[in-house]
Amino acid sequence: MAYGSQLTLLSGGQSIIILLIVSFLAWRFRVWFRLRHIPGPLGASLTNFVRMSWVFTKKAHLIHQELHQKYGDVVRFGPNMVSISDPASIHIIYPMRKGLVKNDFYVPLRPYTRNRGAIPNVFTALDEDLHMKLKYPVASLFSLSNVSKFEVLVDEVLSVIDEQLDRRFASHGEIFDLTEWLQFFAFDVMGTMTFSKRYGFLEEGKDVGGMLNAIGQFMKQAAPVMQNPWLDRVLYKNRIADSLKRTPGSDIMKFVVAAINERQKSASEDEDFTKARKGKNDFLDEYIITQKKDSNIPPWFVTAWTISNVLAGSDSVGTVMKTTMYNLLTNPRTLEKLHAELVAANVSRPRPRWSEVHNLPYLDAVVQEALRVHPPFALPFERIVPEGGLHISGQYIPANTVIGASPYVVNRHKPTYGDDAELWRPERWLEGGPEVRKKRDDGLLTFGAGRRICLGKHIGIFEVKKLIPFLVLNYDISIVKPETFLAENEWFFRQSNLLAQIRRRPLESVEPNV
């Protein structure tokens, strides 16, 4: 009798296991079946771990591009994920209206601490209402007219990098990694704009406090699990995991919270804080003042706004600067052409004025081309297809499918940008009639598109258009070993090892040494 009961229980346990396995397989088959008409690699249609493995190679952008070249504009990247490469579809996937919401892909980009949990920001908020609440109180701060008010602060940082490059490298021809110093500049500018003080990277010539390393490790950790967001919760965003090993985001949060607490203490001690800071407000001042004026804005919004400046505001701009200088230096013809335009426009030295450089045609083309060939973000911006589904590039995409487009792939779409879309050629932005130019402008996905377009777009362009003319006019720069330049995709592009030598160009010099 006992033996029979044991057999019955065992059979019951086995039945449950079998039922679970069958249910799982049926669910997976249903997911696979609903997108069976979308071409793509078989393995990717069965599990998200395939596209996760692409990210581990640090060359996911190249794999994505090869897949689109093989299968077309619509490719299945996962069991429930479809990638699009045609710029004509941008307005469908990323519309100005509500409709296609973000999915959990963005959650791993939220810094985590044990006490505060994972804090969303303007970029990583999934709920549209929360996104609007985070965005609109501060959106005007990121307008070009407001950003240009920071020019005096940017000029201070330009003076520092000018002094450091002269003293450390130009005076005796020492070889150095130009990418490091461009990143130092981008971070010190953002530190000045946000906290009214530089991080000190330029003066020290190194990663002060390990901030750059912490952000790099944070992105390196986040990128793979963005393809399987549930792993982020299991491996990193919980108290047990955090107690065993602090995440890189914890160190970043610690820095930001300390800066906010210090400033808020000053604000609480000074009843006239707003008046006292008037005319010299940095971003943190504006965030605190905005929150104090509106009781409906919770205090944690200040943290969310500030962490965005630290995480995305410097790394992304640094990528554009590195891309621009690498391609100018490896394509001397374009460097000569840019230098000639700057000289003809009588741009001030050593520090160009925004009023002098903001509307120069060839400089605009150079910046656009840099944004096109190597966008800072190089994985698809994912969205969820709404009820009713979508028709894109001749394919029907059913509701609840995850859909997205990679800036790297879209920006190299040959029917839009030409058969030489793989090459650096700024002139493409000056060619063709108004319709052709508009098509190219609208097809650029570097900053995203639609209602969720990057809030810091104007900051990036402002910094780049200040720094690049400064370098081109004041220095002769030559690459020592172009083959050592490295670009790796960890959500942000990581560019390094641009070994260079520089010398100061005499004030009367008008020709670049190329």
**How would you write 33-64 as a 3-class SS string?**
HHCCCCCCCHHHHHCCHHHHHHHHCCCHHHHH
The arithmetic mean of pLDDT across residues 92-112, rounded, is 92
Task: Mark residue 120 as left, alpha or beta (left: phi above 0; alpha: psi -120 to 50; beta: remaining).
Answer: beta
* Amino acid 357: pLDDT: 97
CA nearest neighbour of 188 among 472, 377, 466, 486: 466
Q: With a cut of 60, say whether residue 278 has pLDDT above it.
A: no
pLDDT (average), residues 479-497: 91
pLDDT given at position 514: 46
Among residues 48, 56, 218, the alpha carbon closest in space to that of 124 is found at 218
Distant-in-sequence, close-in-space partners of 284: CB < 8 Å, separation ≥ 6: 194, 195, 196, 259, 260, 263, 302, 306
pLDDT in the model for residue 19 = 65
Q: State the pLDDT at residue 68.
A: 98
What stretch of H or E contains 495? strand 492-496
Q: Is the dihedral of CA 247, 131, 397, 372 positive or negative?
A: negative
| Helix (H) / strand (E) containing 483 | none
To the nearest whole percent, how much of the chain has pLDDT over 70? Answer: 89
Q: For residues 35-51, give the mean pLDDT.
A: 95
Q: Which residue has the higher pLDDT, 470 or 309?
A: 470
What is the tens place of the pLDDT at every residue in 236-267? 888 887 777 766 666 777 788 888 888 887 76
Dist CA 164 CA 203 (whole Å)? 7
pLDDT at 25 over 70: no
Given a cut of 60, whether residue 304 has pLDDT beyond it is: yes
Indicate whether 164 pLDDT > 50.
yes
Q: Per-residue pLDDT for 275 more than 80?
A: no
Those residues with Cβ within 8 angstroms of residue 169's Cβ, 6 or more apart along the chain or in another chain: 176, 501, 502
Q: Is the pLDDT of residue 151 over 60?
A: yes
What's the whole-number average pLDDT of the chain?
89
For the chain, list the domains and their CATH numbers.
30-504 (1.10.630.10)
Structure tokens at 342: 């700057």
Cα–Cα distance for residue pair 228/214, rounded to 1 Å:
22
CB 199 within 8 A of CB 188: yes
Q: Is 99 annotated as a binding residue?
A: no
pLDDT higher at 365 or 8 = 365
Residues 174-228: tens digit of each pLDDT:
999 999 999 999 999 999 999 998 889 999 999 988 888 888 888 999 999 999 9
Looking at residue 508, its pLDDT comes to: 60
Contacts of 161 (CB under 8 A, 6+ apart): 181, 184, 185, 188, 202
Q: Looking at residues 274-299, what average pLDDT do you find?
A: 82
Task: Give mean pLDDT, residues 458-487.
Answer: 95
b (16+ CB within 10 A) / e for 416-443: bbbeebeebbbebbeeeeeeeeeebeeb
Evaluate if residue 507 carries a pLDDT over 60.
Answer: yes
Statement: residue 161 has pLDDT above 90: yes
Answer whether residue 26 shows pLDDT above 80.
Answer: no
State the average pLDDT over residues 443-463.
Answer: 94
- As a whole number, mean pLDDT of residues 2-16 equals 58
Mean pLDDT of 479-491: 92
**Residues 120-142: tens digit of each pLDDT:** 999 999 999 999 999 999 999 99
Q: State the pTM of this model.
A: 0.90
- 49-91 pLDDT, tens digit each: 999 999 999 999 999 999 999 999 999 999 999 999 999 999 9
